[in-house]
């Protein structure tokens, strides 16, 4: 499968193309088990400065020209692309026209490229692209990846390769910018808050005082220390947390031992010595502050496989998963994009196993109103090897709840964690054969506030490519 990764960040934008190899790893006489077994990057674009019309607007036309050029350079046409992600990250996701820009770029999407943003998702795919996830899995250790870009620092914890807590701070290299005359042209609200706490005077129009800005960067590094448990938390930790991100909580029984850096600032962390205002911002000063911080003395710092390209590589090679092979679906429905997920709690799911659907109906009606969508994906955990009678009762409750609330003509979409989609789908089809299209996908993990994209079935319809994501604009 040809996959694309498009990353539109606070400071930089880039694109990569990859080949993903999928294979049935089961034997001839076994139930099929399809996995992504190979990932090969076949083209990397140059790193471009993200074009802006002003501080609030992304220049969508200029981005479109960049992508046209890079698709041509890679020898790729949009119709060839089968999966991947176009992701607006950092402060760019908060630009007024972020969602509109992604709509403009949909011409490059082929049949199935997702448009995603959100600090929690960004932290994970950056950590996968940097190599932190692989290091954690290979060595069975706890690794935190800090993806430090222009506007934000996305942090994710991996424990033995398992994704743990995530969080994001408004800390980055372009929180303060400097012009060619050595004067400050921009101070972000986050930088202003840290400066105030440190009793520093940093204002737009002032000369860029290296000593003062270095002290500001020390303060930013101290907030990151607090986030990772290397210093006692202060009020700043919450004050500069990115809107919409999760609270980063470190499990007491498995503290962080290793850290890894990715993003544009990571280039300067691993390769110091550049002129402090070479990029017209405080990125190099922030990198220097991190090198002398407790992040380097309290933790083992591991080398990143990718730094500035970590997010785009993660977007192009790690966002796609493959559904289980015991799935049920109606032909002609795919691809489908941006379907909001409603995940049932353990209590709500147990009610459905008992045949109760009234609470489910109320929950779905509430969720449809909240999400302003006519489609939802109902997510359940399911059971290992349920009996026929109990599964029939479960299917009836789920189906009745969805059928009574989802608008006529829309498919009923289900994601199940356990490997039971085929049997569940057959029972649902028996109940609603002439009234509804039914889709049941298994072995996919989703959470509340996720969205799901379904690609076209592959391997003769055996499996479906799926991307689970978050969306956050403005």
pLDDT tens-digit profile of 143-170?
Answer: 999 999 999 999 999 999 999 999 999 9
Number of domains in the chain: 3
Q: For residue range 89-136, what is the model confidence (pLDDT) as tens digits?
A: 888 888 888 888 988 888 888 778 887 777 888 999 999 999 999 999
From 93, 117, 141, give the residue that closes a domain: 117
Is residue 282 domain-shared with residue 383, that is, in the same domain? no
Is residue 195 domain-shared with residue 286, that is, in the same domain? yes
Residue 315 lies in a domain: no
Is residue 134 domain-shared with residue 70, that is, in the same domain? no
Q: For residue range 361-387, what is the model confidence (pLDDT) as tens digits?
A: 999 999 998 888 899 999 999 998 899
> Which among 51, 42, 44 is positioned nearest to 15, based on CA atoms?
44
Return the pLDDT at 127: 97
Reported confidence tier of residue 28, pLDDT bands at 50, 70, 90: low
Is residue 248 domain-shared with residue 356, that is, in the same domain? no
Is residue 150 domain-shared with residue 277, that is, in the same domain? yes
Residue 378 lies in a domain: yes
Residue 177 lies in a domain: yes
CATH code for the domain of 104: 3.30.420.40
Is residue 191 domain-shared with residue 231, that is, in the same domain? yes
> Which among 105, 127, 107 is positioned nearest to 116, based on CA atoms?
105
Reported confidence tier of residue 345, pLDDT bands at 50, 70, 90: very high
From 252, 277, 310, give the residue that closes a domain: 310
From 117, 140, 172, give the residue that closes a domain: 117
DSSP string, 246-306: PP----TTS---EEEEESHHHHHHHS--S-TTTTSBSHHHHHHHHHTSHHHHHSEEEPPS-
More confident residue, 449 or 346: 346
| Model confidence at 303: pLDDT above 80 | yes
170: exposed, middle or buried (C-beta count within 10 Å: 0-12, 13-18, 19+)? Answer: buried
Least confident of 45-54, 87-96, 223-232: 87-96
Looking at every residue in the chain, the average pLDDT score rounds to: 92
Residue 474 lies in a domain: no
Q: Which domain holds residue 72?
A: 2-117
Least confident of 197-201, 324-328, 399-403, 419-423: 324-328
Return the pLDDT at 449: 80
């Amino acid at each position: 499968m040809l996959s694309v990764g498009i990353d539109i960040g606070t400071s930089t934008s880039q694109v990569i193309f990859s080949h993903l190899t999928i294979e049935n790893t089961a034997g001839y006489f076994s139930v099929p088990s399809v996995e992504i077994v190979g990932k090969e990057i076949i083209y990397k674009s140059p790193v471009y400065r993200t074009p802006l019309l002003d501080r609030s607007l992304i220049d969508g036309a200029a981005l479109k020209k960049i992508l046209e050029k890079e698709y041509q350079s890679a020898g790729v046409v949009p119709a060839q692309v089968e999966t991947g992600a176009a992701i607006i990250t950092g402060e760019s996701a908060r630009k007024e026209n972020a969602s509109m820009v992604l709509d403009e770029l949909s011409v490059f999407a082929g049949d199935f490229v997702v448009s995603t943003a959100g600090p929690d998702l960004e932290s994970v795919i950056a950590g996968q692209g940097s190599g932190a996830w692989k290091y954690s899995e290979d060595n069975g250790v706890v690794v935190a990846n800090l993806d430090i870009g222009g506007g934000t620092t996305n942090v994710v914890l991996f424990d033995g390769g398992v994704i743990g807590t995530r969080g994001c701070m408004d800390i980055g290299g372009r929180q303060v910018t400097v012009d060619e005359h050595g004067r400050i042209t921009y101070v972000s609200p986050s930088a202003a808050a840290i400066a105030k706490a440190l009793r520093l005077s940093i204002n737009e129009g002032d000369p860029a005082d290296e000593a003062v800005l270095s002290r500001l960067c020390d303060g930013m590094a101290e907030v990151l220390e607090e986030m990772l448990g290397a210093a006692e938390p202060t009020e700043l930790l919450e004050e500069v947390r990115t809107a919409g991100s999760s609270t980063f909580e470190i499990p007491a029984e498995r503290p962080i031992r290793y850290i890894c850096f990715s993003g544009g600032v990571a280039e300067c962390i691993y390769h110091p010595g550049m002129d402090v205002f070479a990029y017209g911002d405080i990125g190099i000063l922030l990198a220097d502050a991190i090198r002398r911080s407790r992040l380097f003395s309290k933790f083992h710092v591991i080398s990143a496989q990718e730094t500035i390209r970590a997010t785009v590589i993660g977007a192009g090679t790690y966002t796609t998963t493959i559904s289980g092979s015991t799935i049920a679906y109606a032909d002609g429905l795919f691809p489908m994009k941006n379907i909001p997920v409603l995940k049932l709690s353990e209590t709500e799911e147990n009610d459905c196993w008992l045949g109760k659907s009234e609470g489910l109906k109320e929950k779905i009606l509430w969720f449809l109103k909240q999400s302003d969508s006519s489609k939802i994906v109902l997510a359940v955990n399911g059971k290992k090897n349920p009996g026929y009678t109990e599964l029939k009762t479960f299917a009836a409750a789920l189906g009745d709840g969805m059928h009574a609330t989802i608008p006529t003509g829309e498919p009923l979409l289900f994601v199940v964690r356990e490997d039971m989609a085929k049997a569940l789908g057959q029972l649902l089809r028996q109940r609603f054969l002439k009234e509804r299209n039914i889709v049941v996908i298994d072995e996919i993990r989703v959470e509340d506030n996720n969205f799901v994209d379904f690609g076209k079935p592959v391997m003769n319809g055996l499996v479906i490519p799926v991307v689970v994501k978050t969306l956050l604009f403005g």
